[in-house]
Amino acid sequence: MSLYSAIKRAKDYAAERFPIEKLNFHSMVEKKEVPVHRLSWGYYLGGAALFFLLVQIVTGLMLLFYYQPTVSDAHASVEYISDYVVGGALVRNMHSWSSSMMIACVIAHLLTAFAMKAFEKPREITWLTGVGLLFLTFGFGFTGYLLPWNQIAVNATKIGLQSIEQVGQYLPGQMAQWPRAIRETIQGEAAVGQATLSRFYAIHVIVLPFALAALLGLHLFSVQLHGMSRGVEDPPRRQEKFFPMFLIKDLSVWGVAFFLLFLMALCLPFESFSPYPLFEAFDPNGSTPDGIKPEWYFYFVYYPLELLPFGVILVGSGLAMLMLLLTPWLFRSTSRKTLRILALVGAAYFLGMTLFGEDIYHIFKGGGQ
Amino acid sequence: MKPRERRLPLLLALAGFVWTASARAYPEFQTWIVKNSGRSVNCAMCHAHPDGPDGTGYGQIGRLTSEEMERLNFARRAIEPGAEVQSPILNKFGNLIVSRLGMKKVLELKLDPSQLPDTLDPVSDLDRDGIPDAQELRDGTHPLKKEDGRPWRLFVNNAQRNLSPLLLTAAATAAGLYGLTRLLHGFACAARAERRETEDSGEP
Amino acid sequence: MIDAFLLVGLPYLALAVCVIGVIWRWKTQAFSWSSLSSQFLEARQLRWGSTPWHLGILVVLLGHGLAFAFPRVWESLMSHPTLLVIAETVGLGAGAMALAGLVVLAFRRLASGRVQAVTSTMDLVVLALLFFQVLLGVLTALLYRWGASWSTTTVVPYFWSLVLLQPDSSLVADLPPVVKAHLVGAWLILLAVPFSRLVHVLALPLSYLWRAPQIVIWSSPRRAAKMVREQRVQESRREFLKGAAGVAVAGSLLSLGVLEKLARFFQGPKLAGEMETVLLTKRLHRIRMTAEEQALQLERQKSTRILIGRLSELSSSKGKYFIDFNMAPALAFLDANGLPLLISAKCTHLGCTVGSEVNAQGQILCPCHISYFTITTGEPNVGAPAKTPLPHLEWVVVDASGKDLAHRGSSGAIQGSLQGVPPEACSVYVARPTEEAS
């Protein structure tokens, strides 16, 4: 009896998430509608992230034609792309800018989806795949950062991997050795070297793209299946056809995004924001230049990591991750107004740490000494 | 004047061979650039190796061939400006400075490094990024790397240089946006006509 | 002489006649100010002739006008190969279209009896003038390519010399006869304006461009509804056309810019000899450095001690970098007792390489997260991100004959002394950690 009811409940659950009667072109494309209200701009962010992902795929494939993933040649091949290949600097700069823009869009997408309560039943799977995509995107950022094999890349990766090992001091007994084993497994050898580069390359170019394609497929499929979430408390006065109206507007946003990306990539080298010694070839026997930092989108964990004890960060980020994964159930009955305030707080934290993290760091640590 | 001129290269040569406390050849310049620009730099701004001339890496004194050693000694003898110096421990920019100023002037400038940018050619731009070498020195950016420069300066220079592709892309974007807006309007019209039709046919 | 007349006299004559003639016609026969439409006599051929002709000639005139009006801007635009190709292609295409339209119009005028009835001699003259003028233009574009560029130093200054009343025909004197004929043709057409239907050029119905379309509606409500619906359908069709055109223009502009770049990206760079040498040298250096790195590793596998250098090379204020047995960077200093002091330079916080310069407090700095380590003890400063000290390494000092003089064991105890051997004769080795060696 109880087994039967459990199975029945599971079946009902799946039926609600994947309604068979909606699995057709008519209801997924022709009938789908997008609500029009004052938060409607949030509906464009996911599409913008998708656009930048497409740019990443195209430019990434182009870079793949020249890049060489070996310790001796990686930096030289990147230099070759920038200095000798026609349009190579543009393609590479586009890849850098587009990655940053994609991550900005993904984070804004996360916050607006949260504020609109887009995780509400039956959209739990959409939310979960979205969180998975967020982690994959950060994974792309972390692995791609190492590939040019310059000073900042190798040293920042060392620091990032070393912090895994620090978890060990909070684990009891034999388990204390596990994080070290995990780090060395990721690295492939005792120090960051050729094995690490090969692994990161494989992960960046093959593993993550496949994982992303699978998750993204499921994500987009469920978005089309369940339609756009309502977004606001009171029912919207107007609806807009997804096809072709919203799609055309989405394409217009893509057009503007492309122009902005092209302008930035053509006129402003991504590397000009940091001092040049960071982009010299990594030299294992030389000194480490000043100013080793992760990419800006990791500042929100990096600066707290610098300021607070490691244990606090560990517990904090663990809780945050758990909260992200459990959001559809934790905030099931929270009003959209409260969610909006929470999202604003989250956005303020992220922006504050990204823009003023360094200043905050200097205030607490005293004048950069 | 003459005996002093002779002694200088000798001193310099000695300074190069002996392992001294200062691995950076002329840290005065580096210190000034960092202080003036607020951007960290290393020896690779003028030298061939990021850690300066001392050591056994490429572009460091410990690894020079005899032919390179000769070029180094020639550079050390370039007391007066105008010699075509090609020192193996310097990069193109470092060699330009020595060729233009001569070692004597360079050593004098050590006392007041802030004078260095003003003594350089104000229009020379080795990496052709649109920012003159002297300005790059003031900014603490690399005069030989075209992707290194103050972001705003680079943006303006590159935008001017790439005006035609930018205009082309802007025109394409504008045309595309126009087209999409028209399409949107067209679909709206078609939908209204369709609605009208169903309403009409609904009537008896 | 004939040149001087055709290129300097004729233009002024034509201009004067044109201005006076137009004023005269406006005063005396204002109602003849028309293109003398014959649409109601014959419409089908007219549509296929008049539309391409007007569209083509407008584009061509716009190009000519831009080049004449803004020579500087035009010149700078035309110095970009892509834009030059675009301008030439568009110009030639528009010219060809105009020519085709003219041919249809001429055929219609000669073939249709009804139209012939209203055709005057002047109409035929104008038709012939325009036909030859456009033909000459197209020929110029085909035979003497890149006119959009070369005209900026010949025809444009000639035109401006006329405008500024300092005529200089030498600027165009050396041009080929086809181009000169094109110039003369232009002045002849100007001359003909007041005496022909060409006068309608001066009365462009510009307000058509923005005024709302007027819809003539039947008074019956059923028919009115039908009309409105048809209007909607037509409007949507027009919008779709415009939309498709916009997207197509965007697509073609982008592909024009991208395709050529893309092809060259995959083609790879064609390097000059010197650049190739620089590149190969750099690659060779990198490969050698990697090889040296691996040689170091091998050496650490095989031997129990590794040479750092002479004792006299060490200093107490600046460390000498070397690679220890864990393949991590380490620093060698001179201790206060005249013996070496070897310390790991791999920061115990997150593994950055610690700096080599000793400050006044006897500390070295890790630049990544600002930890100061006292070299004599290895301890980090209070409050530093690093919590554990940098370990000291074991070392051996050997004299010139290869005899061990002193060494530091794993416990940190130093055994032996220099025994008066000068530091120049002593070599310092880092020893393999004893636990590992056993």
- Render pLDDT for C357-397 as a digit per residue (tens, 0 to 9): 888 888 888 876 778 898 888 888 887 778 888 888 888 88
Q: State mean pLDDT over C172-199.
A: 87
Confidence of residue B194 (pLDDT cuts 50, 70, 90): confident
> Tell me, what's the pLDDT at C320?
85
Question: Residue C349: which residues within 8 A CB-CB, separation 6 or more?
Answer: A162, C366, C368, C369, C371, C384, C385, C386, C387
DSSP letters of C84-117?
HHHHHHHHHHHHHHHHHHHHHHHHHHHH-HHHHH
Q: Do B119 and B175 fall within a single domain?
A: no
> Tell me, what's the pLDDT at A254?
96
Q: CB distance C327–A80 less than 8 Å?
A: no
Q: Which residue has the higher pLDDT, C69 or A105?
A: A105
Q: State mean pLDDT over B142-167.
A: 91
In terms of Cα–Cα distance, which of C186, C206, C210 is closest to C198?
C186
Q: How many domains, in total, are found in chain B?
A: 2
* Cα C341 from chain centroid (whole Å): 57
Angle, CA C64 vertex, CA C146 and CA C54 arms, to 5° = 115
Confidence of residue B7 (pLDDT cuts 50, 70, 90): very low
C114-165 per-position pLDDT tens digit: 777 778 888 888 889 999 999 999 999 888 888 888 888 888 888 888 888 8
Q: Do B169 and B91 fall within a single domain?
A: no
Q: Is the pLDDT of residue A144 over 90?
A: yes
Judging contacts by C-beta atoms under 8 Å, the chain B residues touching residue A275 are: 39-41, 140
Q: Count Cβ–Cβ pairs < 8 Å, chain B vs chain C.
A: 104
Q: Do B17 and B100 fall within a single domain?
A: yes
Q: Is the pLDDT of residue B13 over 50?
A: no
Looking up tokens 């190739």, which residue turns up? C276
Q: CB distance A258–B173 less than 8 Å?
A: yes
Domain C302-437 -> CATH class: mainly beta
Is B155 among the domain residues?
no
Judging contacts by C-beta atoms under 8 Å, the chain C residues touching residue B168 are: 82-83, 253, 256-257
Q: State mean pLDDT over B165-188.
A: 92
Q: Among A264-273, A292-301, C326-335, which stretch is predicted with the lowest mean pLDDT? A: C326-335
Q: Which residue has the higher pLDDT, C434 or C136?
A: C136
Dig out the tokens for C218 from the structure: 């039947």
A213-222, B119-128, C258-267, C288-297: which is most confident: A213-222
Q: Do B52 and B122 fall within a single domain?
A: yes
CATH classification code of C2-205+251-265: 1.20.950.20
Is B141 among the domain residues?
yes
Which residues face C340 on adjacent strands? C334
Q: Do B168 and B137 fall within a single domain?
A: no
Q: Is C93 exposed, middle or buried (0-12, 13-18, 19+ CB in 10 A)?
A: middle
- Cα–Cα dist C240/C243, whole Å: 5
Q: Which residue has the higher pLDDT, B23 or C385?
A: C385
Looking up tokens 């970098």, which residue turns up? C321
Q: Among A79-83, C42-46, C211-215, C257-261, which stretch is predicted with the lowest mean pLDDT? A: C211-215
In terms of Cα–Cα distance, which of C235, C230, C233 is closest to C212?
C235
Determine which of B145, B162, B183 to mutate to test the interface with A (most A C-beta atoms within 10 Å).
Answer: B145
For residue C36, what are the CA distances in angstroms to A27, B12, C103, C107, C115? 58, 93, 19, 17, 11
ipTM above threshold 0.85? yes
Report the gap between the CA of C264 and the closest CA in chain A (Å): 6
* Partner B contacted by C418 (CB < 8 A): no
Q: Roughly how many angstroms between the first and final C-alpha of chain A, as a whole number?
A: 69
Question: Residue A256: which residues within 8 A CB-CB, separation 6 or more?
Answer: B173, B177
Question: Residue A97: which residues within 8 A CB-CB, separation 6 or more?
Answer: A261, A264, A265, A270
Question: Residue C146: which residues within 8 A CB-CB, separation 6 or more?
Answer: C84, C88
**Cα within 13 Å of Cα(A191), Cβ side:** 17
Dig out the tokens for A162 from the structure: 């070393």
Length of chain A in residues, anyone? 369
Judging contacts by C-beta atoms under 8 Å, the chain C residues touching residue B181 are: 243
Q: Is the pLDDT of residue A267 over 80?
A: yes
Q: Count Cβ–Cβ pairs < 8 Å, chain A vs chain B.
A: 96
Q: Do B66 and B131 fall within a single domain?
A: yes
Q: CB distance A285–C323 less than 8 Å?
A: yes
- Cα–Cα dist A146/A154, whole Å: 6
Report the gap between the CA of B84 and the closest CA in chain C (Å): 19
A263-267, B69-73, B195-199: which is most confident: A263-267
> Tell me, what's the pLDDT at B10?
39
Judging contacts by C-beta atoms under 8 Å, the chain A residues touching residue C352 are: 155, 158-159, 288, 292
Q: Do B187 and B145 fall within a single domain?
A: no
Q: Do B33 and B114 fall within a single domain?
A: yes
Q: Is the pLDDT of residue C429 over 50?
A: yes
Q: Roughly how many angstroms between the first and final C-alpha of chain C, as a whole number?
A: 109
In terms of Cα–Cα distance, which of A130, A90, A113, A135 is closest to A261?
A90
Is B154 among the domain residues?
no
* Partner B contacted by C242 (CB < 8 A): yes
Confidence of residue B4 (pLDDT cuts 50, 70, 90): very low
Length of chain B in residues, anyone? 204
Q: Do B107 and B197 fall within a single domain?
A: no
> Tell me, what's the pLDDT at C205?
64
For residue A66, what are the CA distances in angstroms to A61, A196, C267? 10, 20, 11
- Cα–Cα dist B178/B181, whole Å: 5
| Contact (CB, 8 A) for A192 and C328 | no
- Cα–Cα dist C83/C68, whole Å: 17
From A273, which residue of chain B is nearest by alpha-carbon distance?
Answer: B151
B191: domain range?
Answer: 162-201
Q: CB distance C353–A86 less than 8 Å?
A: no
Strands of C227-314, DSSP E: 305-310
Dig out the tokens for A78 from the structure: 């990147």
User: Closest partner residue to C268 among A85, A284, A291, by Cβ?
Assistant: A85
Q: Is C15 exposed, middle or buried (0-12, 13-18, 19+ CB in 10 A)?
A: middle
In terms of Cα–Cα distance, which of C343, C342, C336, C352 is closest to C384?
C352
CB neighbours of residue A354 within 10 Å: 18
> Tell me, what's the pLDDT at A53?
97
Q: Is the pLDDT of residue B102 over 60?
A: yes
Judging contacts by C-beta atoms under 8 Å, the chain C residues touching residue B173 are: 250
> Tell me, what's the pLDDT at C210?
59
Is B166 among the domain residues?
yes
Question: What one-character DSSP code corresponds to residue C373?
Answer: E
Report the gap between the CA of B60 and the closest CA in chain A (Å): 12
For residue C335, what are the CA distances in angstroms to C325, C340, C341, C379? 21, 5, 5, 16
Residues C26-54: b if buried by 16+ CB within 10 A, e if exposed: eeeeeeeeeeeebeeebeebbeebbebbe
> Tell me, what's the pLDDT at C412?
78
User: Closest partner residue to B21 among C225, C245, C317, by Cβ?
Assistant: C317
Angle, CA A128 vertex, CA A123 and CA A131 arms, to 5° = 130
User: Closest partner residue to A72 among C250, C261, C286, by Cβ?
Assistant: C286
Q: Is the pLDDT of residue B96 over 70?
A: yes
Report the gap between the CA of C261 and the closest CA in chain A (Å): 7
Q: Do B35 and B87 fall within a single domain?
A: yes
Q: Where are the domains of chain C?
A: 2-205+251-265, 302-437
User: Closest partner residue to C315 among B21, B168, B188, by Cβ?
Assistant: B21
Is B157 among the domain residues?
no
| Contact (CB, 8 A) for C369 and C385 | yes
> Tell me, what's the pLDDT at C302?
84
The domain A33-294 having CATH identifier 3.30.360.10: the answer here is no
Report the gap between the CA of C273 and the closest CA in chain A (Å): 13
Q: CB distance A285–B57 less than 8 Å?
A: yes
| Contact (CB, 8 A) for A192 and A157 | yes
* Partner A contacted by C251 (CB < 8 A): no
